[in-house]
Structure 1
Amino acid sequence: MADLPPNVHVSQHPCLLAKLSQLRSSSTPARDVKALIHDISLIVGCEGLAKGVQSTPGPIDQTSLGFDFQTHQITPGTISLVPILRSGLGMVEAIQTILPNPVPVHHLGLYREPTTLHPVEYYNNLPNHLSGSGSAGSSASALAIILDPVIATGGTCVAAIQTLREWGTQRIIVLSVLGAAKGVKAAAAEWPEGVEIWLAGVDEELTDKGMLKPGLGDVGDRLFLTIGK
C-alpha cells in the first residue's frame, strides 16, 4: 500500500475486499457489475459518512404505542450528491439509501482528453455555480459528496473539487471504488483541509493511457454496455 496522506482512507472491510475482487474480473456480467458497484458504494459510503456527518438531537416524537422518544438528525443540514458522469451514476442509489432524507443530486460531466489526459468539463448543473471563487453562495451545499468509481490520474477529481470550491461548498467527501496511488494523492492535495477521500482499494500503477493496473477496466462502459464503442 502506498504511503497515502491522512485525508485518504482505504477500507479494510473483508466483505468489501471480496466484492472488489469480483468486480475486477472480466467475466463478471454487466448486471453483476451494477450490483457490485452499488454494494461497494454502500460500504464505503457508510464508512465515509460515519466520519463525515454528525448526529444532533431533534424534536421529541412519539412511538406507535404513545411513548415519547428523542429523535436524531444529521448535520450539516445541506448536503448534495455530485456524481461524475457517466460512471458516478452507478453510486447514487447506494448513497441515497444511507442518507435519512432526500438530498439534491447535481451532475458534473467531465471527460479526459485522449492525448493529454487532462479533464474537460462538458456539463455542470450546480445551481448558480458561478457564485464566486470560494464564497459561500446561497445555493451551495455545506457538504458536497463526489461520487466517482475510479480515480486514475486524479485530474477529473481535482477538477471537480475546484468546481465545488468555486461553487462555495464548505467541505467535500469523495467516495470512490478504486484509485491509483498517484491520482489519489493529487486529489487529496488539492484541498487537504476541506476534502476527505474514501475508497475500497488503491492500485499502484497506471498504464500510458491512464488506466489503472490491474484496475477495473472502464467502469462506465461496463455499466452501460458500451465496450468497444
Structure 2
Amino acid sequence: MIVHNIALQNSVLNTFISELREVTVQKDSMRFRRNIERIGEILSYEMSKTFQYNNQTITTPLGASTIPLIDNDIVLCSILRAGVPLHNGLLNYFDTAENAFISAYRHHLKNPESFEIIVEYLACPDLEGKTLILADPMIATGQSLRATFEALQPFGTPKHIHLVAVIGAQEGIDFVSEHFPDDTHLWISAVDPALDDNGYIVPGLGDAGDLAFGKKLQH
C-alpha cells in the first residue's frame, strides 16, 4: 500500500487537525463536522493529482479553451456514521461521483478489549473497473476497512482503490496494508503511534461519531 501522510508537510491542514483534537474546541459538534469536511477537501485535492486526465474543449462567451479534466469513473464509499462529514468533503470536490454507504461498527463481546465488526447496511453501485474511494475518518485496528472491503466484493473489482482517513494508528495502517492490493493508495492527515488496550487511537481525538453526531445507545 502506498501511504500519503499529508501532515508531513506543514500546511493549514495542521489547524484543522489541532481543532479536532483539542477537547475545548471539539465540543462544538458543528465545527467538528466542518473540520472533518475541510480535511476531506484537502485530501481530495492531493488525491486528484494522481488521477487520469483527458483534454476537453470548453466553450466560453469569447471563444474556446482546452482543459484537462478528470477521466476517472469515481465511486465514493463511506462508513457510517462518522464517515458522513468526510464523505461530504470528498463530494464537494468529486461532485459527479457515484456514492455508496455501509454501516460497520464494533460489537463488543465479553469485555471492551474483545470485539467483532458487524456490517448491517450496504448500498453500492457497480464497482467494476471504477475508481473506488473508501472513506473512514479513523483507522484504529483497521478491521472496519477490511470488513467493508470484503462486503464490497460482490459489486465488482475496482480499477483503482484509494483510502481516505483523518487519523490512523500505525498498527491499523499496517493491518490494512496486509488486506488491500499493493497498489492501494492511503491518503491520511495524521498518523499516531499507538492503540490503547481497548483498540482506540492514542493520542487520537476520542470517538469521532459521538463528537460529530452525539452519543449513541449501545446494543
Partner of 2:107: 113
2:84 aligned residue (53, 71, 89) = 89
Report the TM-score, using the length of structure 1 for normalisation: 0.84
Does the Cα contact within 8 Å between 1:144 and 1:164 map onto a contact in 2? no
Matched, 1:70 2:66: yes
Sequence identity (%): 26
Q: Secondary structure at the match of 2:198?
A: coil
| Runs of 4+ that moved beyond 6 A | none
Q: Secondary structure at the match of 1:14?
A: coil
Q: Secondary structure at the match of 1:193?
A: coil
- Aligned pairs for 1:183-202 (under 5 A) are 183-202=172-191
- Aligned pairs for 1:158-177 (under 5 A) are 158-168=146-156, 169-177=158-166
C-alpha distance in structure 1 between counterparts of 2:127 and 2:16, whole Å: 37
Does the Cα contact within 8 Å between 2:119 and 2:148 map onto a contact in 1? no
Q: What CA RMSD, in Å, does the superposition of the two structures yield over aligned residues?
A: 1.9
Report the TM-score, using the length of structure 2 for normalisation: 0.87
- Aligned pairs for 1:1-229 (under 5 A) are 7-11=2-6, 12-28=9-25, 29-51=28-50, 53-58=51-56, 60-65=57-62, 67-76=63-72, 78-99=73-94, 101-115=95-109, 116-127=114-125, 140=128, 142-168=130-156, 169-226=158-215
Structure 2 stretches lacking a partner, 5+ long: none
**Greater strand share, 1 or 2?**
2
Deviation at 1:163, TM superposition (A): 2.9
- Per-residue CA deviations over 1:57-101 (Å, capped at 9, x if unaligned) read 12x332111x1221432122x2111010001111122111212x4
Q: Secondary structure at the match of 2:99?
A: coil
Deviation at 1:193, TM superposition (A): 2.6
C-alpha distance in structure 1 between counterparts of 2:216 and 2:206, whole Å: 10
Question: Structure 1 residues 54 and 210 mapped into 2: Cα distance closer, same or farther (>3 Å)?
Answer: same
Does the Cα contact within 8 Å between 1:111 and 1:120 map onto a contact in 2? yes
